Structure 1
Amino acid sequence: MKDSLRELLRYLSAGEVPETLVLACDHSPLPRIPRRVCALHYDACWSGAPLGSLAQILALGVSQIAFVPCSRGEGLGRLLQLGDVVFPGRLRRWETTHQGRFAGKWVEVSQLGVSRRSFLGLSTTCALDLHANWQERSAQAFALLGVSEPPSDLPPAWTLQVGKCSVCGVCVAACPHQALSLTPDPEDADVLALTQDLARCEADGACLKLCPEHTLTAQGHPTWSQIHTGATQTLTEVKTKICPSCRSRFPATAGELCPLCAFRQDHPFGSLMPR
């Protein structure tokens, strides 16, 4: 559900934001609805939705979200119970009234097209940055709604720790979200710092899997306030020097040559590094 939510947010922000938004999932029937009621049929179940997704919808100006009960009622009940603590009075079950004309139409979120304003190149305003990832938008929404730290949901990002780092840069290249970087110290270019951008991390795990030293580990999650402020953390700082043979940088304590050149020097008839 998480980043497919972006199209729903874009759809809501392109027009007049409804006071009450009715949501149904694949496991719920689509009841008849009154005219002028904004009702969206989503292709995922809301019973297990993270609070960040709901916060993003409410941050656009929606006063209430009404959920059509589905076959996974226990999950929806827990969501509403938790939502009543975090967003009091703003989440409820949808109950069909017997007043008015039932001429409303359900909108399929999976089939939302480009809005008229976007097609004509007209500007649209949105309280959230729709170019940001899911957790960044959630952090923005919690801040707009005055929610400091939700009692249950944590950002999906990992807080990484590193042991003995060879500053090879494999983890930096492996991360598909550019959450890791190797940068020289402004006062000493021979010192390289491995830094993690917490807001960009989406717990993909590629850095942990591909680290040749197997030194990266995930140690919990950051807070929403850290995501909102764009906090970074320095994982390690390593004093380096340039290999006189291949001109690559490597830890200064590793010897005269980088590990690869040292291996080639010791094994001139075989240049494959041992595993």
Structure 2
Amino acid sequence: MADPTRQLLRWLAAHDVPGRVLLLCADAPLPPVARDTLVVRLPGCLKDTGIGLPAQLLASGVGAVEVTACPSATEEAAAQVTGWTQVLGDRVRRHTAPPLLRRGRPTVLTLGQVPLPRRVVLGLGGLDAAPLDLDLDDAARTIAALRLLGAAPRPDAATRADSEDVAPPERDVLAAAGPPSAAAALAVDGCVACGVCVRACPHDALVLDHDGDTSTLTHLREDCRAELECLRLCPVDAFSTSGSLPLADVLAVPTAVLAEVRTATCERCGARHPADEGPLCATCRFREGNAFGSSMPPGLAERLARRRDEST
């Protein structure tokens, strides 16, 4: 998947970091700019640009991110920029004409069409010193940038999905971030602690811990990318989702407990299973009565039967 912001950060890491970056909507005219200004033309409109772009630019050493009025969606773009300013401070501001104009044309890059830096082509390096890890995806870099800029609490500020764990002023500022995160808002009901969801998640965003007779399923929200393999593959249909989590919620509460299940260890195979099922797990109970048979995972037979009924 294309990551245009990574391309821009890679270009910045191979050049002298500009004092200002001016973000322009695709249809906005180019205004006069100061000598130390890099112009970045967006493929669309400011109103559709998340806070990740200005946050990552500032975290990479850019002195200020400037914007001009959008010619086609003035009010929506202005509201978006206001949200950026509430989170990132006065380093995001409206562009004003400089007292002294630069000679020649400024450097103008189009987001999504940023050329590969010559240093990278020649293998000369120079990207290791980038403040942000360019191996991370855009969602992870956005969170890292906001934390680096002091615009969000540290990950240990709250460990439970409880809004009271975060001070109200902090929540108000984070809420201005506006756009949804890459994480899914997950809910779990009827978990049997089988661990299928943990193995299914391609981003290791789910953790199942066993402590005594309790098994706890935890959602690592910062690592979640809402691919929903957990929901699709859960054998007991325990997962549901209400869409994407707000970025503010992910920043404030990066780890949430989805389920706590009282479990026991199967006396035959050692697998964890709900304690109220008895001393044996579902598979071993089946094998005890069907020595030469085979068993589907718990709940899968009922699930397949429901789907057959729905399709007829």
Q: Deviations over 1:102-147 (max 9, x none)?
A: 4234223323344344422345322223333434322332233232
1:26 is the counterpart of 2:26 = yes
State which of 181, 203, 208 in structure 1 corresponds to 2:226: 203
Match of 1:176 among 202, 205, 210: 202
Match of 1:166 among 192, 212, 222: 192
Deviates more, 1:160-169 or 1:255-264: 255-264
Partner of 1:91: 92
Which residue of structure 2 lines up, in the alignment, with residue 80 of structure 1? 81
Match of 2:149 among 120, 124, 145: 145
For 2:277, the equivalent position in structure 1 comes to 254
TM-score by length of 2: 0.68
Deviation of 1:22 after TM superposition, in Å, equals 1.8
Question: CA 1:171/1:83 → structure 2, altered by over 3 Å: closer, same or farther?
Answer: same
Match of 1:103, as an amino acid? R
What letter is aligned with 1:71?
Answer: S
Secondary structure of 1:110's counterpart equals coil
Q: Kindly report which structure 2 residues correspond to 1:55-74, keeping only aligned pairs within 5 A, or say none.
A: 55-68=55-68, 69-74=70-75
Unaligned runs of 5+ in 1: none
Q: Which residue of 2 aligns with 1:107?
A: 109
**Which region of structure 1 is more displaced relative to structure 2, 175-184 or 232-241?**
232-241
Distance change >3 Å, CA 191–CA 236, structure 1 → 2: closer
8 Å contact from structure 2 (residues 204, 223) kept in 1? yes
- Work out whether residues 19 and 36 of structure 2, in 8 Å CA contact, stay in contact via their aligned partners in 1: no
Secondary structure (helix, strand or coil) at the match of 2:236 reads coil
- Is 1:241 paired with 2:265? yes
Q: CA deviation at 1:167?
A: 1.8
Indicate the larger mover: 168-177 or 87-96.
Answer: 87-96
Quickly say closer, same or farther: Cα 1:133–1:233, change in 2 above 3 A. farther
Within 5 Å, which residues of 2 pair with 1:119-158? 119-148=123-152, 149-153=173-177, 156=181, 157-158=183-184
CA contact (8 A) 2:22 2:37 kept: yes
The counterpart of 1:214, out of the listed 234, 237, 250, is 237
Deviation for aligned residue 1:19:
0.9
Aligned-residue offset at 1:179: 0.2
**1:274 equivalent in structure 2:** 302
CA contact (8 A) 2:208 2:215 kept: yes
Structure number having the greater helix percentage: 2
Query: Pairwise mapping of residues 7-26 of structure 1 onto structure 2 (< 5 A)?
Result: 7-26=7-26
Percent identity of equivalent pairs: 31
Equivalent position SS for 1:21: strand
CA separation of 1:5 and 1:12: change in aligned 2, threshold 3 A: same
Q: Is the 8 A contact 1:160 1:235 kept in 2?
A: no
RMSD: 3.7
Does the CA-based 8 Å contact 1:26-1:43 persist in structure 2? yes
TM-score w.r.t. length of structure 1: 0.76
Q: Is the 8 A contact 2:218 2:257 kept in 1?
A: yes
Mind listing any 5+ residue stretches in structure 2 that lack a counterpart?
Answer: 153-172, 304-312
Shift of 1:14: 2.5
Q: Give yes or no for contact 1:14–1:125 (8 Å, CA) kept in 2.
A: no
CA distance in 2, matches of 1:206, 1:110: 29
Amino acid at match of 1:110: G
Q: 1:270 to 1:60 in 2, by over 3 A?
A: closer
Q: 1:116 to 1:232 in 2, by over 3 A?
A: farther
Alpha-carbon spacing, 1:252–1:133, altered in 2? closer, same or farther (3 Å): same
In the alignment, the residues of structure 1 paired with residue 41 and residue 209 of structure 2 have an alpha-carbon distance, to the nearest angstrom, of 46
Q: Aligned partner of 1:213: which letter? A: V
